[in-house]
């Protein structure tokens, strides 16, 4: 037998090194290396991951392709993220922080599909009675569902052979152990090897596989990045555990669009799809209070209206505090610098706290205009008009730049009753030139951040009158 071989693997990018390193030279992550030992090279990753199909080369022209068979999960928001339903024979990774609701969603899925399809639910974390308790709480009782409490991959695959399910659920991949790999459960090699074998097995039969994966503190999927490459779709659970809203986002989808999101509300009876997320996110929006502005962002094909809040207070520290929740920190710094330079407002003497209500994370630059209004509103203590919604990307000279899908955003804003919709001025001109559909009367144009200041000044004036 060969001597055991030790390698150190970066948990965030899978880079391997013969020595432990403090910082990964490939992805720059700190303290991300884990030791792995192979005792038996025959069963190690490279040997088992190669599964030859033995097929001959075929002529591509005129090649027949089978239609993807999709089955609806009967959970509207989940269908939306999956691109219209679960593709039969696909492997899906469901990732999220502990306690966010992964097992809950899967149990609900079993409730919907467990009477028509055979499901094998493998739980390495919870006992069968705990699963039953959850099922009772969620009022589901699938008749064709099997549960197995097991962490050893070989036993799971054996049970898979005898049950022959249509859908297999692994909760979670971090608990599985594969014989022949000496590192502990949850380590890079274990996760990769277990996922590899499972996917190779189910693909051969056309079974659907759903793997639960935990994410680490930084929000990355724990275990190797390679897990994301092996599956057909990666769904990520987002949201604050302390808040009711949960967002399921498709990070990768071989059978549908990415960036689609599904919105759920966590209740005692399980996750309830939210059909009108904009209304839910705007619920309880205060009126007549400074530092709040509505924003319309685009998530995939779906316009969403949320609320941005800012709190600007004089600082008592030599270097002022800045926190951004749901907004990129660097984007906030850039916006603050633009306002300071172009409008001369001294944010450098203020602590700044930014927050997006409802645990939403905004990546859409169209939110810049609303962030600017919320910031200036809080600093000057003038409320943004309640019926106003602002959208536009800010440039470094303080101008508002055009945003995509403006018509879609405007109709969503109108649907929710906003009567003052501010969009970049250039966009209004362009729309009328091209003979495109006329913008509704509620829409007004903003050239740059000076116009944002003017909106607030007018509000203050009309309040005084
Ligand atoms: N009795 C209950 N009533 C309401 N919500 C509950 C109840 N029990 C659990 N939950 C919710 O379910 C969450 C746990 O969900 P779970 O699916 O087990 O998470 P995960 O599998 O992602 O770790 C808890 O954080 C809590 O919000
Ligand atoms: Mg769980």
Q: What is the pTM of this model?
A: 0.78
Burial label, 342 (beta-carbon count in 10 A; 0-12, 13-18, 19+): middle
Dump pLDDT digits (tens) for 397-449.
999 999 998 988 998 899 888 999 999 998 887 665 656 667 778 889 999 99
- Across the range 270-296, mean pLDDT stands at 89
Rounded distance from Cα 106 to ligand 2 centre (Å): 9
**pLDDT for the residue 44:** 46
Percentage of the chain surpassing pLDDT 70? 91
Dump pLDDT digits (tens) for 89-103.
899 999 988 888 999
Please indicate whether residue 102, judged by its CB atom, sits closer than 6 Å to ligand 1. Answer: yes
Please indicate whether residue 96, judged by its CB atom, sits closer than 6 Å to ligand 1. Answer: yes
Which pLDDT band, with edges at 50, 70 and 90, does 47 fall under? Answer: low
Please indicate whether residue 98, judged by its CB atom, sits closer than 6 Å to ligand 1. Answer: yes
Is residue 224's pLDDT more than 80?
Answer: no
Residue written as token pair 């203050």: 460
- Across the range 302-326, mean pLDDT stands at 92
**pLDDT for the residue 43:** 45
Dump pLDDT digits (tens) for 178-215.
888 877 787 778 888 899 999 999 988 889 999 999 88
Which pLDDT band, with edges at 50, 70 and 90, does 140 fall under? Answer: very high
Dump pLDDT digits (tens) for 328-358.
999 999 999 999 999 999 999 999 999 998 7
- Per the model's pLDDT, the better-predicted residue between 275 and 272 turns out to be 272
State how far the Cα of 305 lies from the Cα of 414, in Å rounded to an integer.
11
State how far the Cα of 223 lies from the Cα of 194, in Å rounded to an integer.
11
Rounded distance from Cα 1 to ligand 1 centre (Å): 48
Q: Which atom of ligand 1 is nearest to the CA of 171?
A: 21
Rounded distance from Cα 99 to ligand 1 centre (Å): 6
Q: What is the mean pLDDT of the chain?
A: 86
State how far the Cα of 393 lies from the Cα of 370, in Å rounded to an integer.
10
- Across the range 84-113, mean pLDDT stands at 91
Please indicate whether residue 246, judged by its CB atom, sits closer than 6 Å to ligand 1. Answer: no
State how far the Cα of 156 lies from the Cα of 38, in Å rounded to an integer.
22
Is residue 302's pLDDT more than 60?
Answer: yes
> Is the CB of residue 397 less than 8 Å from the CB of residue 360?
no
Is residue 66's pLDDT more than 50?
Answer: yes
Is residue 364's pLDDT more than 80?
Answer: yes
Identify the nearest ligand to the CA of 243 by its number: 1
**pLDDT for the residue 280:** 83
**pLDDT for the residue 218:** 60
> Is the CB of residue 258 less than 8 Å from the CB of residue 250?
yes
Is residue 1's pLDDT more than 70?
Answer: no
Residue written as token pair 């306002």: 339
Rounded distance from Cα 286 to ligand 1 centre (Å): 29
- Across the range 58-79, mean pLDDT stands at 82
């Amino acid at each position: 037998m060969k001597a055991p071989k030790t390698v150190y693997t970066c948990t965030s990018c899978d880079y391997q090194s013969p020595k432990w390193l403090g910082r990964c030279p490939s992805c720059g992550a700190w303290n991300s290396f884990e030791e792995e030992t192979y005792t038996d090279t025959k069963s190690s990753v490279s040997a088992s991951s190669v599964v030859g199909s033995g097929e001959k080369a075929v002529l591509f022209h005129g090649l027949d392709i089978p239609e993807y068979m999709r089955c609806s999960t009967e959970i509207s928001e989940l269908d939306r993220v999956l691109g219209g339903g679960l593709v039969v024979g696909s492997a899906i990774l469901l990732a999220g922080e502990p306690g966010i609701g992964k097992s809950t969603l899967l149990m609900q899925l079993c409730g919907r599909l467990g009477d028509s399809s055979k499901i094998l639910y493998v739980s390495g974390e919870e006992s069968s009675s705990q699963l039953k308790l959850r099922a009772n709480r969620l009022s589901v009782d699938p008749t064709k569902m099997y549960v197995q409490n097991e962490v050893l991959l070989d036993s799971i695959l054996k049970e898979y052979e005898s049950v022959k399910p249509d859908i297999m659920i692994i909760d979670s991949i971090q608990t599985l152990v594969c014989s022949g790999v000496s590192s502990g459960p949850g380590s890079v090699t274990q996760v990769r090897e277990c996922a590899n074998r499972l996917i190779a097995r189910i693909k051969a039969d056309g079974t659907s596989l759903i793997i639960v994966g935990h994410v680490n503190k930084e929000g990355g999927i724990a275990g190797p990045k390679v897990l994301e490459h092996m599956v057909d779709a990666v769904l990520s659970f987002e949201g604050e555990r302390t808040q009711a809203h949960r967002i399921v986002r498709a990070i990768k989808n071989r059978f549908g669009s990415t960036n689609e999101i599904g919105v759920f509300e966590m209740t005692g009876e399980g996750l309830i799809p939210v059909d009108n997320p904009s209304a839910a996110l705007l619920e309880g929006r205060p009126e007549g209070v400074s530092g709040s502005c509505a924003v319309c962002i685009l998530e995939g094909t779906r316009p969403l209206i949320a609320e941005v809040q800012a709190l600007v207070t004089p600082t008592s520290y030599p270097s002022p505090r800045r926190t951004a929740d749901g907004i990129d920190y660097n984007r906030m710094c850039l916006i603050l610098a633009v306002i300071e330079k172009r409008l001369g407002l001294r944010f450098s003497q203020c602590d700044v706290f930014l927050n997006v209500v409802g645990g939403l994370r905004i990546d859409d630059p169209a939110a810049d205009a609303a962030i600017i209004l919320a910031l200036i509103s809080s600093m000057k203590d003038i409320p943004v008009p309640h019926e106003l919604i602002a959208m536009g990307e800010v440039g470094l000279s303080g101008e508002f730049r055009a945003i995509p899908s403006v018509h879609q955003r405007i109709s969503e804003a109108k649907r929710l009753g906003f009567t003052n919709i501010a969009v970049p001025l250039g966009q209004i001109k362009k729309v009328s030139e091209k003979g495109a559909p006329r913008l509704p009367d509620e829409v007004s144009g903003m050239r740059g951040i000076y116009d944002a200041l003017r909106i607030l000044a007018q509000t203050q004036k009309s309040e005084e009158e």
